[in-house]
Structure 1
Amino acid sequence: MESIKLGISACLLGEPVRYDGGHKLDRFLRDTLGRYVQYVPVCPEVECGMSVPRESMHLEGDPEAPRLITTRTGRDMTAMMVEWARRRLEEPALQDLCGFVFKSNSPSSGMERVKIFKDGMPKRNASGIFAGLFMKRFPLVPVEDEGRLHDPVLRENFIERIFIARRWREVMNQGTKAGDLVDFHSRHKLQLMAHSPKHLSAMGKLVAEGKKVPSAQLRAEYHRLLMEALKLKATAKKNTNVLQHIMGYFKKELSQDEKQELLEIIDRYHDGFVPLIVPVTLIGHYVRKYDQPYLKGQYYLNPHPIELQLRNHV
């Protein structure tokens, strides 16, 4: 797989582009996740023509159409930002992104809960101007901010989504062979089950009736359901259901002791005593030991590089 193209607020990579000339380097994003992605850094404020350092800004007005105002002199910088952003969003560098990591609380790049003033009173219910325009222009592209990525569940969910988004783009780039979508769906079934059995069912029906639907419409609807499903968190309850489902593929192979051991480990995971990586590792051992062909192809068992340690939390 080629590197995942990921947009990112430039200050998170250590670039000194903030209003005070500083940065907000995030070492996990730069040094750990950065080994597996190709970053496309963006600083809306600098790229639209503002200087470093510069006067700080905040949002004012309606959260659906916020104004970008300098905090000391009261200058309205909205038009400058919006005009640049609309051009930037049509550039090829942003057209092929598999995700974007925004800077939390930024009036230009905050994903959500950015402070906005209305009638002199602040509320945290806005998005930064560039981030808001990006999400409207690319509603299916996974997005997060670096603050939320400190939560291990949200971090795992986001990284899982960008790896799937990359695989989806590879399928799209291969052409329109009917078997490509069938294979993609088959290999992601257990992963989808862990997020939303309801979406998995709808996607299965869509793929099964694929010949009745124009190819472009089929893929667009499948893509929408795919990204919608993956935004839902894979909970311990849903993961336990998947793990128990996987056990069914070893009915004849596992000895009684092996079945009992696996059931006990799944129960310990469900009850919060061990992380997901423990039952998944044991299942991976059985997949190799008994050469289970269907499970070998399931991304659920290897959704992202183990070096990211995303399934190690309880």
Structure 2
Amino acid sequence: MKALKTYTFLLFCFFASTNTTGAYTLDSTFIRSDSCVQIEWVPDSQNTNPAWYLSNGVKCTGADSIYRRCDFVPGNTYYGVAYSYGGEDPYYLFRNRLKQGFLVGSHLCHYLYYNDPSNIITGTDCSGFLCYLWNYPRISTTSFANSSVFKKIDFSEIRPGDALVKSGSHIVFVLEADTISEVVISEASSTARGCRERLVNLTDPEWTSYKAIRYPQLSNTVPVYSPVNKHTQSFFIKYRSPSGSTIEFTEPFQGELTIMSLDGRVLQRTRVNFQRNVPLYISFHGTVIVYQDLVTGKPVTRRVLIP
């Protein structure tokens, strides 16, 4: 298969280890989430061979052979760790296992036994994704919803680092919480076939059956790499028209801006020479902005909501 990569603006190191409880920073959860969502990968014919589902006894939904198929096409480019029911592979393990010829996950086929360590399939499901982000031992959505380890909170208290869970169904991670109605989440989605970010409105009917939970081990930490809203001190976003907005810096800025969608696609690159106003030629409501920090010389990532 083709070489895999993550976006170069993620200048953070990870150390592979088994999940254990303990003090853990919000910074780490955001960085881990971004890495799982933004990883770029291209499967080959071995990664997508549907015969593997039959020859290795993988459990599939339904009896018809249509269910014994891969969600992905060899040679195509994808973003985000693939969805695999019962899986728990973080981005680096997913990347390495694809190189080794593992079958990429399917939302309809999964391990013969849920959470059974597999030597043929790679990917993650929603609870496996959250366990990785929170550095917590592997549990299900039901355990997330009912365990006394996690604090139940009201929707009005939701902040970055929390989670929304529907017992026996789904769990998502909160990246951005500007208001009670709109939040940016990351998730391992069977619908999207992998890890993604999206903007949701918690007043929509689909969220009435979800509980908001907080992992206390994260509650007293102050994020440095935290997602920030459109009122960040470094710049803010000003609405211009339905076709775009403007980035307005508090001080003249010099460097290069990279504007990305929440799922990691590059939308716009702009070189800036001591400007305070930079047009955005996009109308995406949620976006990631990467710019050069003039003090450290390193890229800085900000997740913002475009009005």
* Structure number, greater radius of gyration: 1
Q: TM exceeds 0.5?
A: no
Indicate the TM-score class for this superposition, using the shorter chain for normalisation. under 0.3
Q: TM-score, length-normalised on structure 1?
A: 0.27
Q: Specify which structure has the higher proportion of helix.
A: 1
Higher strand share: 2
